[in-house]
Amino acid sequence: MRAVSPPLPATDDTASRAVLRDGSVVQLRMAAPSDHQALTRFFHELSPESRRLRFFAFAEPSDELLTRFCDSSDLSRNATLLALRLDGGDLRPIAVGSYFSTGDATAEAAFAVDDRFHGKGLGTMLLERLAAIAGAHGFKRFEATTLAENAAMLEVFHESGFEIRSKSDHGCVNVQLSIDPSGASVNAAERRDALATAASLRPLFEPKAVAVVGASRTAGSIGRRVLRALVAGGFTGPVYPINPHADELDGVRCYPSLSAAPRGIDLAVVAVPRPAVLGVVDECATAGVKSLAVITAGFAETGADGRALQQALLDNVRGHGLRMVGPNCMGLLNTNPRVRLNASFSPIVPPSGGVALSSQSGALGMAILELASERGVGLSTFVSVGNKADVSGNDLLQYWEADPATNVILLYLESFGNTRRFARLARRISRKKPIVALKAGRTRAGSRAAGSHTAALAASDTAVDALFRQSGVIRADTIDEMFDIAACLDSQALPAGRRVAIVTNAGGPGILAVDACEAAGLRVSPFSAATRERLAAFLPAEASVGNPVDMVASAGPEEYRRAVEVALTADDVDALIVIYTPVDPTCSSETLDAIRNGIATGRAAGAAKPILGCLMAGTSRPQPLIIGGERVPVYAFPENAARALAKVATYAAWRAQTPGLFWSFEDIRADDARNVCRAAIAADGERWLTGDETKTVLGAFGLPLAAGTLARSPDEAVALARVLGFPVAAKLSAHGVTHKTDVGGVRLNLEKPSSVRRAFAEIVACARKLVSADQIDGVLIQSMIADGVETMIGVADDPLFGPLVGFGLGGIHVEVLGDVQFRVAPLTDRDVDELLHGIRGLPLLQGYRGHTPADLDALREILLRVSRLAIEVPEIVELDLNPVIALAPGKGCRIVDARVKVRAPGTRATPTDG
Ligand code: COA
> What pLDDT is stored for residue 460 in this prediction?
60
More confident residue, 735 or 110: 110
Does the C-beta of 325 come closer than 6 Å to ligand 1? no
Does the C-beta of 328 come closer than 6 Å to ligand 1? yes
- Contacts (Cβ under 8 Å, ≥6 apart) of 449: 441
Q: Of 600, 589, 198, 152, give the one whose Cα is nearest residue 405.
A: 198
Does the C-beta of 295 come closer than 6 Å to ligand 1? yes
Answer yes or no: is pLDDT of 243 > 50: yes
**What span, in angstroms and rounded, lies between the C-alpha atoms of 559 and 579?**
13
Q: What is the pLDDT of residues 180-227, one digit of tens each?
A: 766 667 778 888 888 889 999 999 999 999 999 999 999 999 999 999
How many angstroms separate the alpha carbon of residue 270 from the centre of ligand 1?
Answer: 8
Does the C-beta of 216 come closer than 6 Å to ligand 1? yes
How many angstroms separate the alpha carbon of residue 393 from the centre of ligand 1?
Answer: 26
Does the C-beta of 828 come closer than 6 Å to ligand 1? no
> What pLDDT is stored for residue 246 in this prediction?
95
> What pLDDT is stored for residue 447 in this prediction?
43
How many angstroms separate the alpha carbon of residue 394 from the centre of ligand 1?
Answer: 29
**Environment class of 559 (CB within 10 Å of its CB; exposed 0-12, middle 13-18, buried 19+):** buried
Parallel, antiparallel, or unpaired for β 500-504 and 549-550?
parallel
Mutation probe of ligand 1 site: the residue of 212, 222, 289, 301 with most atoms within 8 A of C-beta: 222
Q: What one-character DSSP code corresponds to residue 499?
A: B
Rounded mean pLDDT, 582-595: 83
**What span, in angstroms and rounded, lies between the C-alpha atoms of 389 and 381?**
20
How many angstroms separate the alpha carbon of residue 254 from the centre of ligand 1?
Answer: 15
Angle at CA of residue 327, ends 321 and 330, nearest 5°: 120
How many angstroms separate the alpha carbon of residue 313 from the centre of ligand 1?
Answer: 17
How many angstroms separate the alpha carbon of residue 298 from the centre of ligand 1?
Answer: 12
Percent of residues, the chain, with pLDDT higher than 90 = 57
Tell the residue nearest (CA) to atom 17 of ligand 1.
216
Mutation probe of ligand 1 site: the residue of 272, 286, 292, 329 with most atoms within 8 A of C-beta: 272
Here the contacts of 555-559 (C-beta below 8 Å, separation 24 or greater) are 555/505, 556/587, 556/591, 556/594, 557/587, 557/590, 557/591, 557/593, 557/594, 558/594
**What span, in angstroms and rounded, lies between the C-alpha atoms of 836 and 863?**
9
> What pLDDT is stored for residue 907 in this prediction?
57
Does the C-beta of 70 come closer than 6 Å to ligand 1? no
How many angstroms separate the alpha carbon of residue 243 from the centre of ligand 1?
Answer: 10
- Contacts (Cβ under 8 Å, ≥6 apart) of 223: 212, 213, 214, 215, 216, 269, 271, 272, 295
- Contacts (Cβ under 8 Å, ≥6 apart) of 848: none
Angle at CA of residue 799, ends 794 and 801, nearest 5°: 75
Does the C-beta of 271 come closer than 6 Å to ligand 1? yes
> What pLDDT is stored for residue 397 in this prediction?
96
Could you tell me if 259 and 244 are in contact, meaning their C-beta atoms sit under 8 angstroms apart?
A: no
**What span, in angstroms and rounded, lies between the C-alpha atoms of 568 and 574?**
8
> What pLDDT is stored for residue 5 in this prediction?
60
How many angstroms separate the alpha carbon of residue 371 from the centre of ligand 1?
Answer: 28
> What pLDDT is stored for residue 646 in this prediction?
97
**What span, in angstroms and rounded, lies between the C-alpha atoms of 204 and 291?**
6
Strand order in the sheet with 379-384: 341-344, 331-334, 379-384, 352-359, 408-413, 435-439, 474-476
Q: What is the pLDDT of residues 1-14, one digit of tens each?
A: 666 665 443 333 33
Rounded mean pLDDT, 654-661: 88
- Neighbour count for residue 614 (Cβ, 10 Å): 25
> What pLDDT is stored for residue 485 in this prediction?
96
Confidence class of residue 914 from pLDDT cuts 50, 70 and 90? Answer: very low
Rounded mean pLDDT, 152-168: 84
Tell the residue nearest (CA) to atom 15 of ligand 1.
216
Tell the residue nearest (CA) to atom 16 of ligand 1.
216
Mutation probe of ligand 1 site: the residue of 212, 213, 216 with most atoms within 8 A of C-beta: 216
Partners of 236 in the beta sheet? none
- Contacts (Cβ under 8 Å, ≥6 apart) of 410: 355, 356, 357, 358, 435, 436, 437, 438, 482, 486
Which atom of ligand 1 is least distant from the CA of 274?
37
Rounded mean pLDDT, 619-623: 71
Does the C-beta of 806 come closer than 6 Å to ligand 1? no
> What pLDDT is stored for residue 577 in this prediction?
97
Answer yes or no: is pLDDT of 813 > 80: no
CA Rg, the chain, in Å?
Answer: 32
Tell the residue nearest (CA) to atom 11 of ligand 1.
214
Which amino acid, residue 153? M
Q: Of 122, 127, 245, give the one whose Cα is nearest residue 178.
A: 127
Does the C-beta of 276 come closer than 6 Å to ligand 1? yes
**What span, in angstroms and rounded, lies between the C-alpha atoms of 558 and 881?**
65
Does the C-beta of 591 come closer than 6 Å to ligand 1? no
SS3 call for 183: helix
- Contacts (Cβ under 8 Å, ≥6 apart) of 566: 531, 534, 535
Could you tell me if 792 and 881 are in contact, meaning their C-beta atoms sit under 8 angstroms apart?
A: yes
Does the C-beta of 215 come closer than 6 Å to ligand 1? no
Does the C-beta of 220 come closer than 6 Å to ligand 1? no
Which atom of ligand 1 is least distant from the CA of 213?
2
Which atom of ligand 1 is least distant from the CA of 214?
21
Does the C-beta of 272 come closer than 6 Å to ligand 1? yes
> What pLDDT is stored for residue 599 in this prediction?
96
Does the C-beta of 344 come closer than 6 Å to ligand 1? no
CA distances from 896 to 137, 464, 759, 850, 886 (A): 34, 31, 18, 25, 10
> What pLDDT is stored for residue 889 in this prediction?
92
Answer yes or no: is pLDDT of 353 > 80: yes
Answer yes or no: is pLDDT of 249 > 80: yes
Q: Where are the strands (E) in 401-505, listed by range? A: 408-413, 435-439, 474-476, 500-504
Rounded mean pLDDT, 103-123: 90
> What pLDDT is stored for residue 832 in this prediction?
95
Q: Of 214, 192, 322, 200, give the one whose Cα is nearest residue 269.
A: 214
How many angstroms separate the alpha carbon of residue 273 from the centre of ligand 1?
Answer: 4
DSSP character string of 562-584: HHHHHHHH-TT-SEEEEEE--SS
Could you tell me if 474 and 485 are in contact, meaning their C-beta atoms sit under 8 angstroms apart?
A: yes
Does the C-beta of 247 come closer than 6 Å to ligand 1? no
Does the C-beta of 398 come closer than 6 Å to ligand 1? no
> What pLDDT is stored for residue 616 in this prediction?
73
Confidence class of residue 405 from pLDDT cuts 50, 70 and 90? Answer: very high
Tell the residue nearest (CA) to atom 27 of ligand 1.
273
Mutation probe of ligand 1 site: the residue of 225, 243, 414 with most atoms within 8 A of C-beta: 243
> What pLDDT is stored for residue 510 in this prediction?
92
Tell the residue nearest (CA) to atom 29 of ligand 1.
221
> What pLDDT is stored for residue 716 in this prediction?
93
Answer yes or no: is pLDDT of 737 > 80: no
Answer yes or no: is pLDDT of 622 > 60: yes
> What pLDDT is stored for residue 167 in this prediction?
86
Does the C-beta of 287 come closer than 6 Å to ligand 1? no
> What pLDDT is stored for residue 362 in this prediction?
77
Rounded mean pLDDT, 286-298: 96
CA distances from 500 to 183, 234, 517, 552 (A): 40, 43, 8, 19
How many angstroms separate the alpha carbon of residue 361 from the centre of ligand 1?
Answer: 20
Angle at CA of residue 323, ends 322 and 329, nearest 5°: 135
Q: Of 128, 136, 138, 67, give the one whose Cα is nearest residue 101.
A: 138
How many angstroms separate the alpha carbon of residue 1 from the centre of ligand 1?
Answer: 61
Which atom of ligand 1 is least distant from the CA of 295?
45
Answer yes or no: is pLDDT of 621 > 50: yes
Helices of type H across 261-335:
277-286, 304-319
Rounded mean pLDDT, 34-60: 85
Q: What is the pLDDT of residues 534-551, one digit of tens each?
A: 999 999 888 899 899 999
Parallel, antiparallel, or unpaired for β 267-270 and 210-213?
parallel
Q: What is the pLDDT of residues 891-912, one digit of tens each?
A: 999 998 888 999 987 654 333 3
Q: Of 214, 271, 197, 203, give the one whose Cα is nearest residue 237.
A: 203
Does the C-beta of 198 come closer than 6 Å to ligand 1? no
Could you tell me if 410 and 355 are in contact, meaning their C-beta atoms sit under 8 angstroms apart?
A: yes
Average pLDDT of the chain is 88
Answer yes or no: is pLDDT of 424 > 90: no
Tell the residue nearest (CA) to atom 26 of ligand 1.
216
Q: Where are the strands (E) in 194-322, listed by range? A: 210-213, 239-242, 248-249, 252-253, 267-270, 291-294
Does the C-beta of 36 come closer than 6 Å to ligand 1? no
Confidence class of residue 421 from pLDDT cuts 50, 70 and 90? Answer: confident
> What pLDDT is stored for residue 618 in this prediction?
61
Q: Within its chain, how far is the Cα of 10 from the centroid? A: 14
Answer yes or no: is pLDDT of 619 > 90: no
**What span, in angstroms and rounded, lies between the C-alpha atoms of 107 and 139?**
7
> What pLDDT is stored for residue 554 in this prediction?
79
How many angstroms separate the alpha carbon of residue 457 from the centre of ligand 1?
Answer: 29
**What span, in angstroms and rounded, lies between the C-alpha atoms of 343 and 214?**
13
Q: Where are the strands (E) in 317-450, listed by range? A: 323-325, 331-334, 341-344, 352-359, 379-384, 408-413, 435-439
